[in-house]
Amino acid sequence: MAKKVLKFGGTSVGSIERIKHIANIIKNENSQNNQIIVVVSAMAGKTNELIGYSNSISDNFDKRELDVLVTSGEQVTSSLLSGALIELGVKAKSWMNWQIPILTEGEHGNSRILNMNIEEINNFISSGGVAVIPGFQGISKTGEITSIGRGGSDATAVIVAKIFNTDSCDIYTDVDGIYSSDPNKIPVAKKIDKISYDEMLELSSLGAKVMQSSAVQAAMIYDIPINVKSTFSNRKGTKIFSQENIDYSKSVTGVAYSKDDAKITLIGVLDKPGVAADIFEPLGKNQINIDMVIQNISSDGKKTDITFTLKRVDLKKALKIIKENKKIKFIDIHNNDKVSKISIVGAGMVTTPGVTYKMFRALAEDNINILAISTSEIKLSVIINEIDTLKAIKKLHTTFDLD
């Protein structure tokens, strides 16, 4: 007998037929005398639909009311799934955030879970019941409904696994594990059987959509092993676990990409202490995240060019802030919103020489120009023209024997 968290994403609960299907998966787990806590997302597309309703009311819809609105999607699936389990003869019950409660802190739209009451749910699952709780939602110390942020159901599942001290955390999705790249774009992408928290964190933060980076980070902090598996097949999934399980024999584990980036270059910035802080401080205060930063100093040491990347949706706002910033002086400003970020990730990069030149040579062979570069111990990212994205992914996938 084991205590398990089973998390089902939006595609897994995307229709009544699918909800009935996962009810059978849960029934099978329950019939093996396992204690089961289920975490569910809203039906696929439902959160976007609800946000669309709010936008039709106002372009600046109240954040408190938006949390009340968008968290209703998980309430629907919690109830439907519990009802489907009861119909199958399984003892089941759904709990809302305020009934447990799931205590959170932080601003509306991006709260984080502090703690939750475990006594009632533990008593229920100990008696053979299946507890169904909503991901994505919580309640503040003042009794306000809060949302954990987009993709928060994964993070909720990991935190539930920690707080309830479960034996495992299974994330069910529409793919049967983590792949070396997007299998929809690269049909020859390979499924990864085992991957470290560090590698998965890099892949998820770089554009891999299977798991949210906040959930991977929480799993790494609390050392919660995660199994990613398919709702729709019985194939063995991917296990995500701690660093001692890293396979150093392979230099590159996967290729990730994102196509929502933009690039800004400030030309002829006066090179003096504090100038970078003067540029980036107002951007940070306006909730604009900066990714890569490259600085080129002129031969006379008086001027510098600073290039940085950010999310495409923040480009116009960032340009306005920079142009209105009286603390900095520059000769010109250039921007490009038709770029993408391509990254290779692998624990083996630490011990394998030549990975950098191999990546650059491969891109050069296909006449792909590199606009910016960023590195870490297990990641190498480049900014390229968006039009070359698919060509670059395929080339790197082949170059590093991932086909």
pLDDT for the residue numbered 246: 60
Asked if residues 241 and 194 have their Cβ atoms less than 8 Å apart, the reply is yes
Residue 206 makes CB contacts below 8 A (sequence gap 6+) with 256, 257, 258, 341, 343, 345, 379, 381
Q: Is residue 222 one of the residues assigned to a domain? A: no
Q: Give which of 47, 259, 35, 43 is closest to 149, Cα–Cα.
A: 47
Q: Give which of 368, 356, 361 is closest to 392, Cα–Cα.
A: 368
Over residues 73-96, the pLDDT tens digits come to: 999 999 999 999 999 999 999 999
Q: Is residue 66 one of the residues assigned to a domain? A: yes
Q: Hey, what are 37's tokens?
A: 């806590």
Strands 303-311 and 290-297 turn out to be antiparallel
Over residues 20-73, the pLDDT tens digits come to: 999 999 999 999 999 999 999 999 999 999 999 999 999 889 999 999 999 999
Q: Where among 174, 203, 228 does a domain terminate?
A: 174
Residues 13 and 162 in one domain: yes
What does pTM read for this prediction? Answer: 0.76
Q: Is residue 114 one of the residues assigned to a domain? A: yes
Q: From start to end of 117-253, where are the E strands?
A: 130-134, 137-139, 145-147, 168-173, 178-179, 191-192, 194-196, 226-230, 238-241
Residues 162 and 264 in one domain: no
Residues 269 and 377 in one domain: yes
Pinpoint the alpha helices (H) of 38-189: 46-57, 63-70, 72-87, 119-126, 152-163
Residues 25 and 116 in one domain: yes
The enclosing domain of 152 has a CATH number of 3.40.1160.10
Q: Provide DSSP, 58-74.
A: -TT--HHHHHHHHTHHH
Rounded percentage of the chain residues whose pLDDT exceeds 90: 57
Asked if residues 174 and 230 have their Cβ atoms less than 8 Å apart, the reply is yes
Q: Is residue 116 one of the residues assigned to a domain? A: yes
Q: How many domains does the chain have?
A: 2
Over residues 188-236, the pLDDT tens digits come to: 888 888 888 888 887 876 656 677 777 888 888 888 889 999 899 888 8
Q: Name residue 276's amino acid.
A: A
In the predicted model, what is the mean pLDDT of the chain?
89
187 vs 299, more confident: 187
Q: Is residue 215 one of the residues assigned to a domain? A: no
Asked if residues 168 and 2 have their Cβ atoms less than 8 Å apart, the reply is yes
Q: Is residue 201 one of the residues assigned to a domain? A: no
| Lowest-confidence pick of 73-77, 239-243, 389-393 | 239-243
Residues 270 and 389 in one domain: yes
Asked if residues 395 and 363 have their Cβ atoms less than 8 Å apart, the reply is yes
Q: Where among 145, 174, 203 does a domain terminate?
A: 174
Q: Is residue 374 one of the residues assigned to a domain? A: yes
Asked if residues 149 and 207 have their Cβ atoms less than 8 Å apart, the reply is no
Q: Where among 174, 201, 226 does a domain terminate?
A: 174
Asked if residues 194 and 247 have their Cβ atoms less than 8 Å apart, the reply is yes
Residues 269 and 165 in one domain: no
The enclosing domain of 318 has a CATH number of 3.30.2130.10
Domain residue limits at 349? 255-399
Over residues 279-305, the pLDDT tens digits come to: 999 999 998 989 888 887 766 667 888
Q: Is residue 226 one of the residues assigned to a domain? A: no
